[in-house]
Structures are given as C-alpha cells and as structure tokens.
C-alpha cells in the first residue's frame, strides 16, 4: 500500500511540475505521462550465445530510446564501460483506451557464456541495471523454468508461483510459458498484472511464450465474426521473439519460432489452428499446411541433441472432455518421426505427465518416444475427466505448479513443484538407443 501511494504521489508531482513548466513557457498543456521504463522483458534477437533483446514500455514518447550494456562487475561505475545501443519504438493503442510506447533494443556482438548488466531508457531517464547471462556456443548443461496457464489470479495467487520458481532455480536461463498468459489477451489491465507478477524476473530471465486461445481473444466490440488467428498487438509489443517461423506467415510473427540453446532446440508453436473449429476455414487450412511444412524442416534440420516442443492445447487431454484428433494426426506423427523428447503444454488447468509414448502407446525408456506434460500456474482449476489410462504416469488436480527442467548431455530431468515448493513429481528422460 505504501509503495502504491508513493508511486501515485510521484506521478502527481511529475504532472504538476510539467504543468507549471508548460504554463511558464506558454507551451500547450502536457499530459504528465512518464518516460520512466516499465515492463522490462528479456527476449531474443538472434543467437542466444551472442545476442539478447529487451523490450520495455513508457507512457510518454521518448526521442532517443536506447539500452546500455556492460560486462558485469561489482563497481557501481557501470556507465563508464557500457556500450550504448539505439532502440526502436512503436506506438501501441490500448484497450479500453490510451496510447503507450513500447521499445525494443537488440544487443548483439556479445560474448558467449558471459554475465552482462544492462539498463534501458532515453539517455536521461534510466531503469535500474539488470543482469543476464549469454548462452554458451556449445552444448552445455543448464536449467530452465516451465509454467502452464497463468490466465487467472494474476494479481493475487499467481505472483507467488513465479517467485517460488525463481527462488528454486535462480540460475534458470529462460522461462518457457505454454500459453494463456492472460484471460483476455487484448486487455492491457491484465498485462499490467502479468508484468507486475513477474517483476524483475522478466528483466533477468528471458521469456519463451506461445499463444493460447485466450491470448488471441478479440475485444468485445470487435467486428470479427470468426476467430482470427493472430495475437493481440500487445503480444509482440511485450515480447521480442525469434523471427524464423514459416516464411509465408509473416503476419503471424511471434506465434511460431524456434530457438537453439546449448544443445536443445525449443520449437514454440501456436496450435490454435489445429485445436479450434471456428476460424475462417480457408485461413485455418492454409496456416495448418504452412506450419506442418515448416515444422518438418525445423525437426529434420536439427543439429541439437534434444528437441522440446512448447504448445498450448495438449495432444492428450485430461479435462473438459476435449479431444484434438486433427492435431494428433498432424503434429503427433511428426513428433514420433523425429523423436521429439518432450512436449510442454497447458490448457487443461491441471497437471499431467505421460509415459514415453510413440504413436499414442507407451514404449520402453530406451526406445524412441515422447513425454507429454501439461501444467497450470494460475488460479483456475479443472477436474480431471479423462485419465488417459496406459498413457499418463502422473495426474494431479487442484494445485498451482511450476517446473524446473535440467538439461544435461545424456538426460533431461524434470522436477515439478507445487506453488508451496513441495515437489510433486520428478522424472528423467534418457536419449533413446539409436537416436541422435
């Protein structure tokens, strides 16, 4: 409460000063909108070994958006050794009203496996200095955090999940977010809650999100009769993501991409076109065909030891009596053919983890196959209605969770925790005999 009051008081003081200055200089009334950076989120510009991207918001336009980056040292004189990188600004209209400015700086030419500090601003008003670590340019062990749907409870019970995950794995190199970040993707008030929940973690650990169905919700007064396969403009305002998706789906940037990180290929897929029926059919069919062709190439031309797919709707549902046979036929066949190791999903508002499966059937631990998981981090819970007998090794209802995945040369280890930090599931995946 005290913190909130202080912020409000500061904003009012700024507005008053601007009005006073304006009156004295016969300048048209100013809004008092702030140039202070908010919502600082790390993403990607290119190779994670040599680049990093960062996005942030200001309420007011800024003339010279920029970032400064320096090798991490204990001296406070960071600006002396920092390199300044010009950023790019975009004006974003908000729902239900208002205009803000999002900025993206692409930090390139960085050293692999190196800790940096950075700040963002306009050359006068700056953020604090935040840290990140670049990836090694070789396969090497690392950990990452995976969360399922936040969606609800963003301002009350979700923040503790993020803090618990970060406390459990402060060395996590990225956060994989399996979609439905918000209940209504168009609503900036919910983005405010989501970014507050992440706090400095979003500026310290890069985010790899995929859109869920809620992330593509239209505003209530939208004239679209059918669903439109596109995220809200707020998605790409907040996230800087790889731009290596299907070449003919350029308008859907930020919805399909892959990232190679220290021996893992993360393939991030918007599977809404495979799961929902009420799109314009021609668009849906076109997107499906493009994604399948692109996915085949991303799986076939993959030099990494491990392959992890991130998607929202699960191939094997456990709740709400949902079933996506079209998605299983199109995507599951490719996961089987190319030995995808792990598929990280959400949507069912429960926790489920399969045995290693091939063509939908359980296989031995040393045989080629895929483990499918779904999880939930927010407050909405569904009852499990489909046990997937013979497929699921673990099902849990009614708790918020986060997962820590440890990548090593010979195995993937997954530890699933309740939001109270109790470990509720733990398993390992070894490379199958005869596979890469």
Interface positions with Fe ion (CB under 5 A):
180, 212-213, 347
- Closest distance to Fe ion from the beta carbon of 153 (Å): 15
Contacts of 191 (CB under 8 A, 6+ apart): 39, 182, 234, 238
- Cα-to-chain-centroid distance, residue 387: 28
| Of residues 211 and 245, the one with the C-beta less far from Fe ion | 211
| Of residues 129 and 158, the one with the C-beta less far from Fe ion | 158
Count helices and strands in the chain by DSSP H and E runs? 9, 23
Sign of the CA dihedral with 120 first, then 124, 128, and 133 last: positive
- Closest distance to Fe ion from the beta carbon of 158 (Å): 15
- Closest distance to Fe ion from the beta carbon of 148 (Å): 9
| Of residues 271 and 414, the one with the C-beta less far from Fe ion | 271
Q: Which two tokens stand for residue 247?
A: 């070449």
Q: Within 121-244, where are the H helices?
A: 158-168, 188-198, 233-238
**DSSP class of 405:** E
| Of residues 43 and 212, the one with the C-beta less far from Fe ion | 212
| Of residues 347 and 356, the one with the C-beta less far from Fe ion | 347
Q: Which two tokens stand for residue 41?
A: 């989120």
Q: How buried is 8 (Cβ within 10 angstroms: 0-12 exposed, 13-18 middle, 19+ buried)?
A: exposed
- Closest distance to Fe ion from the beta carbon of 219 (Å): 18
Cis peptide before 427 (omega within 30 of 0): no
- Closest distance to Fe ion from the beta carbon of 155 (Å): 19
| Of residues 347 and 353, the one with the C-beta less far from Fe ion | 347
| Of residues 180 and 270, the one with the C-beta less far from Fe ion | 180
- Closest distance to Fe ion from the beta carbon of 348 (Å): 8
Q: Quote the CA–CA distance of 425 and 385 in Å, as a whole number.
A: 20
Do 404 and 143 touch, CB atoms closer than 8 A?
Answer: yes
- Which position's Cβ is nearest Fe ion? 347
- Closest distance to Fe ion from the beta carbon of 382 (Å): 10
Instruction: Identify the residue whose tokens are 């849990």.
Output: 396
For the chain, report the end-to-end CA distance as a whole number of angstroms: 54
């Amino acid at each position: 409460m005290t913190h909130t009051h202080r912020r409000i008081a500061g904003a009012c003081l700024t507005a008053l000063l601007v009005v006073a200055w304006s009156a004295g200089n016969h300048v048209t009334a100013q809004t008092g909108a702030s140039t202070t950076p908010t919502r600082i989120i790390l993403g990607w510009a290119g190779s994670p070994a040599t680049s990093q991207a960062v996005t942030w918001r200001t309420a007011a336009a800024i003339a010279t958006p920029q970032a400064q980056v320096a090798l991490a040292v204990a001296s406070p004189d960071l600006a002396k050794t920092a390199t300044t990188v010009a950023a790019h600004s975009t004006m974003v209209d908000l729902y239900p009203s208002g205009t803000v400015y999002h900025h993206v700086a692409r930090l390139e030419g960085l050293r692999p496996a190196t800790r940096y500090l950075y700040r963002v601003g306009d050359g006068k008003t700056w953020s604090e200095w935040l840290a990140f670590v670049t990836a090694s340019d070789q396969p090497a062990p690392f950990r990452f955090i995976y969360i399922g749907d936040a969606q609800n409870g963003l301002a009350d019970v979700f923040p503790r999940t993020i803090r618990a995950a970060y406390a459990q794995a402060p060395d996590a190199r990225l956060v994989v977010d399996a979609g439905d970040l918000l209940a209504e993707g168009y609503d900036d008030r919910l983005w405010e809650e989501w970014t507050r929940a992440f706090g400095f973690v979003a500026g310290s650990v890069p985010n790899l999100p995929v859109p869920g169905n809620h992330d593509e919700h239209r505003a209530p007064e939208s004239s679209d009769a059918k669903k439109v396969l596109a995220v809200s403009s707020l998605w790409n305002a907040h996230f800087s993501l790889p731009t290596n998706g299907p070449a003919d789906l350029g308008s859907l940037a930020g919805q399909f991409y892959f990232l190679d990180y220290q021996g893992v290929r993360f393939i991030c897929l918007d599977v809404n076109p495979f799961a929902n029926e009420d799109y314009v059919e021609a668009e849906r069919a076109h997107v499906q065909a493009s994604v399948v062709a692109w996915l085949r190439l991303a799986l076939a031309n993959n030099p990494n030891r491990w392959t992890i797919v991130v998607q929202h709707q699960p191939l094997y549902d456990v709740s709400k009596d949902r079933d996506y046979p079209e998605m299983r036929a199109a995507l599951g066949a490719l996961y089987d053919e190319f030995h995808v190791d792990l598929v990280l999903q959400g949507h069912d508002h429960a926790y489920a983890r399969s045995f290693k499966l091939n063509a939908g059937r359980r296989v031995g631990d040393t045989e080629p196959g895929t483990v499918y998981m779904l999880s939930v981090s927010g407050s909405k819970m569904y009852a499990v209605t489909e046990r997937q007998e013979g497929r699921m090794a673990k099902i849990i209802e009614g708790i918020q969770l986060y997962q820590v995945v440890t990548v090593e040369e010979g195995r993937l280890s997954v530890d699933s925790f309740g939001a109270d930090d109790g470990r509720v599931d733990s398993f390992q995946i070894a490379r199958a005999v005869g596979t890469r």
